[in-house]
Amino acid sequence: MTERQAYQSPTDRVQAWAEGPTLHIRFNNPARHNALSVDMWQAIPPLLRQAEADAAIRLVVFSGAGGKSFVSGADISQFEDMRAAREAVKQYEAMAEEALIAIYHCTRPTLACIRGWCIGGGVNVAISCDLRLASDDSTFAIPAARLGLGYRFSALKNLVDLVGVGAAKDLFFTARRIDAAEAKALGLVTRVCAADALDALLQEYTQALAQNAPLTVHAGKRIIQEILKPDADLDRELCQQLIRGCFDSEDYAEGRRAFMDKRQPAFKGK
pLDDT at 131: 98
Phi-psi label, residue 164: left if phi above 0, alpha if psi -120 to 50, beta otherwise: left
List per-residue pLDDT tens for the chain, 270 residues long: 344 457 889 999 999 999 999 999 999 999 999 999 889 999 999 999 999 999 999 999 999 999 999 999 877 666 666 555 666 667 778 888 999 999 999 999 999 999 999 999 999 999 999 999 999 999 999 999 998 888 888 999 999 999 999 999 999 999 999 999 999 999 999 999 999 999 999 999 999 999 999 999 999 999 999 998 888 888 999 999 989 998 998 888 878 888 888 888 888 888
pTM: 0.91
Please name the residue ranges forming H helices in 187-261: 198-211, 214-227, 236-247, 250-261
- Cβ neighbours for 96, distance < 8 A, ≥ 6 positions apart: 36, 41, 74, 121, 124, 152
E-strand stretches of 68-138: 69-71, 110-114, 117-119, 131-135
The Cα 253–Cα 183 span in angstroms is 40
Digit-coded pLDDT (tens) for 258-268:
888 888 888 88
Digit-coded pLDDT (tens) for 156-193:
999 999 999 999 999 999 999 999 999 999 999 999 99
Which domains, and CATH codes, for the chain?
3-209 (3.90.226.10), 212-261 (no CATH)
